[in-house]
A = this chain, B = another copy of it.
Amino acid sequence: MNITDYLSTRRKLVEQALDEFLPGADEYPNKIHKAMRHSIFAGGKRLRPILVIASCEIVGGTIKQAIPTACAVECIHTYSLIHDDLPCMDDDDLRRGIPACHKVFGEGIAVLAGDALLTFAFQLLANNCKLSEVSEHNALKVIAEISKACGTYGLIGGQVMDLESENQTTDLNTLKYIHQHKTGALITTSIRSGAILASASTQELDILTEFGNLLGLAFQITDDILDVEGALEKLGKTPGKDKQKNKATFPALYGLHESKIMAEKCINEAIGLVRPLGEKGQILINIANYILKRNM
């Protein structure tokens, strides 16, 4: 299966499952369920849930085992976007090509829709054993893994420093911290969680963790590059926001050319790590190359 087909079939599976798992838009109180679904079904690459599935399959697990965790990770990603877009945070009107949650439902409901998606993610993870025949031991390990990666030493820590760095001169260490935490933590934890579900060995987990760290960094560098070079209709969000907000980015610190070289270096290093996995690691190599060349 080529990478485009692989990504598209997995994306559809995730979206079908999200539609089944999430409360219906007509269920009381309707407004919050509409708001959650507005942001979840606005599109998106579904990269993180696909990484959960890919990693689970590589270690010997099944797609079915990975689906609830994959959906949980996408709920967490979407919650972070909804809160990040709020006027008191990044103040973005557009997300995934449609109006941000708070523009449609108001700020109060947007705060609650984010809260609800985060809470729902843990509800899915708590029911992993029933939904996907995962062992209780692995289900608990995944909750510990994801809650740590999304906390103040992970995702939230990155958002805090991103907020603190606006309109300030940011050095390379802070920039790396922001990227590794705001974006990298959830990408790495997606890969790790998929592997944990399938009882990965310590050695497998170490390789996949290092791969995830490099992939996450490359993803964020390409994100920075797309904010300079990308088109609104592809990105689904307003390009040029980083410069406008005087944000620290790789292109701002190193220029576009050097940033592209850095992204490529990360991807090549990541690919080198998973080569020893042989045939079954091929899908991660394809995903890594896809990230380097993406235009959305």
- A residues engaging B (CB < 8 A)? 23, 28-29, 31-33, 36, 79, 83, 86, 88-89, 106-109, 111-112, 114-116, 118-120, 122-123, 125-127, 129, 136-137, 139-140, 143-144, 147-148, 150-153, 156-157, 159-161, 163-164
Given A32-B152, A116-B152, decide whether A163 and B109 contact each other with a Cβ distance below 8 A. Answer: yes
A30 and chain B: residue at smallest CB distance: B160
Whether A123 and B144, one on each chain, are in contact in the complex, defined by CB atoms closer than 8 angstroms, is yes
Whether B126 and A147, one on each chain, are in contact in the complex, defined by CB atoms closer than 8 angstroms, is yes
Q: Which of B106, B123, B137, B160 contacts A147 (CB 8 A)?
A: B123
Contacts of A147 in B (CB 8 A): 119-120, 122-123, 126
* CA of A6 to CA of B116, assembled, Å: 34
Whether B112 and A163, one on each chain, are in contact in the complex, defined by CB atoms closer than 8 angstroms, is yes
Contacts of A129 in B (CB 8 A): 140
* CA of A143 to CA of B112, assembled, Å: 20
Whether B164 and A31, one on each chain, are in contact in the complex, defined by CB atoms closer than 8 angstroms, is yes
Whether B123 and A160, one on each chain, are in contact in the complex, defined by CB atoms closer than 8 angstroms, is no
Whether A156 and B119, one on each chain, are in contact in the complex, defined by CB atoms closer than 8 angstroms, is yes
Whether A161 and B86, one on each chain, are in contact in the complex, defined by CB atoms closer than 8 angstroms, is no
CB distance from A89 to the nearest CB of B (A): 5
Interchain residue pairs with CB less than 8 A apart (20): A23-B153, A31-B164, A32-B156, A36-B152, A83-B112, A88-B107, A112-B156, A112-B159, A114-B115, A116-B151, A116-B156, A118-B118, A119-B147, A119-B151, A120-B152, A123-B144, A123-B148, A126-B143, A126-B144, A136-B140
* CA of A173 to CA of B28, assembled, Å: 13
CB distance from A1 to the nearest CB of B (A): 35
Whether B116 and A115, one on each chain, are in contact in the complex, defined by CB atoms closer than 8 angstroms, is no
